[in-house]
Amino acid sequence: MKDFLKKLALLGLVLAVIGVIVLVSGIVPVKASSGHWPITRWMLGFASDRSVAFHSIGTEVPSLDEPGMLTLGAGIYQSNCKWCHGSPGSPMPPVPAAMTPAPPYLPDVLHELDAAEMFYIVRHGIKFTGMPAWPTRQRDDEIWPLVAFLQQLNEMSDSEYRDLVDVDKDTAAPEVVVEQCAICHASDGMGHGTDRVPVLAGQNEVYLRESLEAYAEGNRHSGVMEPIAARLSKREMSDAAKWYAGQTMTSQGRLDLNAESIQAGQRLISQHDDTLKVAACSKCHGQENDPSYPVLAGQPAEFLNRQLALFRNRSRGGSGNGNLMHSIADALDENQSQQIASYFASLRREPTESEN
């Protein structure tokens, strides 16, 4: 027995030395061009599938058929995923197809994943493959619209996909707006009826530009906007900000609001001193105030409410002024935020002479 163990130890030592020699010599090819051996590919795939299945257990999946989720998800896919995974009607792009492992054409593989698994993969990425993690660690609420879209992608026709992502090119908007923003914000800044996307039409120009800079520098957190803003030059940022600030807010795309909620929100705001013990919102928000502060009137309620929640748990970030909002958001509970958001959403700014 002792002899056997000794031999085993010796064998182990010899194998370890060979292993080190192989590693140090550099003989092992790391080239992507030859792909994996079928057995390596199978093992990695199996391990990865098991890991995703295990770690996504217990994820609470929210309702995925809320208004606008699919449209926003398609916009995110077109802006941030398509260049690796292709899309209905567009063949796989050749450069990522030469990766090992190559990104799969998703409509062929998504039926194997449930919503929680898709969420896990998009949130965390997959190690040792080119599949990147979600660009921000600060928040993951933005991934769900993408999951809502992925769930429908395997049955989506070319023309259904185009209906979701095509933009109207017949506009005087600058090229950056048409090519990179219109898919979610529309060229007129009113969006496509998605209440998670802010209205940019008529927003203060300085605020728009500073927000784009904050996203690009990673100071304002959004897995959707950070990569988009980071691709823009300073010139494109100012062109887009100028264009959108010059558009007029219309009633287009506003969703139904609850009248009681609006009134409750209005009451809260007028009693800000007594009930909330915070400065009046109108002290900072509104056309006549500091142009680096946003105008809230007419923004979708869902968007405003979400921003307040992000401020409350310190995961919004913002331009240099963002922390002015922390104590204010802390003073509001979820219900109050929702009411105030409904109130602001119900207001609409009429265009004035001084606008543009």
Give residues in contact with ligand HEC (CB under 6 A): 48, 75-76, 79-81, 84-85, 96, 99, 101, 103-104, 109, 113, 118, 121-122, 126, 129-132, 146, 176, 180-181, 183-185, 196-198, 200, 203, 208, 211-212, 220, 222, 224-225, 228, 232, 240, 272, 278-279, 281, 283-285, 293-294, 296, 304, 307-308, 318-319, 321-322, 324-325, 328, 340
CA distance 301 to 259: 13
On the 0-12 / 13-18 / 19+ scale of CB atoms within 10 A, 212 is buried
Evaluate the CA torsion angle 310, 312, 313, 318 in order and state its sign. Answer: positive
Q: How far is the CB of 341 from ligand HEC (least distance, A)?
A: 7
CA distance 187 to 212: 17
Give the tokens for residue 255.
């969703």
Closest to ligand HEC by CB, 61 or 109:
109
Total number of residues shown for the chain:
356
CB 188 within 8 A of CB 247: yes
Q: How far is the CB of 27 from ligand HEC (least distance, A)?
A: 26
Q: How far is the CB of 321 from ligand HEC (least distance, A)?
A: 4
Q: How far is the CB of 49 from ligand HEC (least distance, A)?
A: 7
Q: How far is the CB of 81 from ligand HEC (least distance, A)?
A: 3
- Residues with Cβ within 8 Å of residue 95, at least 6 apart in sequence: none
Identity of the residue numbered 101:
P
Closest to ligand HEC by CB, 11 or 42:
42
Closest to ligand HEC by CB, 258 or 291:
291
Residue 46 has a CB neighbour count (10 Å cut-off) of 10
Q: How far is the CB of 270 from ligand HEC (least distance, A)?
A: 11
Closest to ligand HEC by CB, 257 or 284:
284
Closest to ligand HEC by CB, 15 or 324:
324
- The string over 218-230, giving b where at least 16 C-beta atoms fall within 10 Å of a residue's C-beta and e elsewhere, is ebbbbbbbbbbbe
- Residues with Cβ within 8 Å of residue 144, at least 6 apart in sequence: 62, 64, 69, 119
CB 147 within 8 A of CB 115: yes
Q: How far is the CB of 55 from ligand HEC (least distance, A)?
A: 14
Q: How far is the CB of 66 from ligand HEC (least distance, A)?
A: 14
CB 244 within 8 A of CB 185: yes
Closest to ligand HEC by CB, 123 or 258:
123
C-alpha R_g of the chain:
25
Q: What are phi and psi of 274, to 5 degrees?
A: -85, -55
Q: How far is the CB of 277 from ligand HEC (least distance, A)?
A: 10
Closest to ligand HEC by CB, 11 or 219:
219
CB 322 within 8 A of CB 220: yes
Closest to ligand HEC by CB, 102 or 160:
102
CA distance 318 to 332: 19
Closest to ligand HEC by CB, 258 or 279:
279
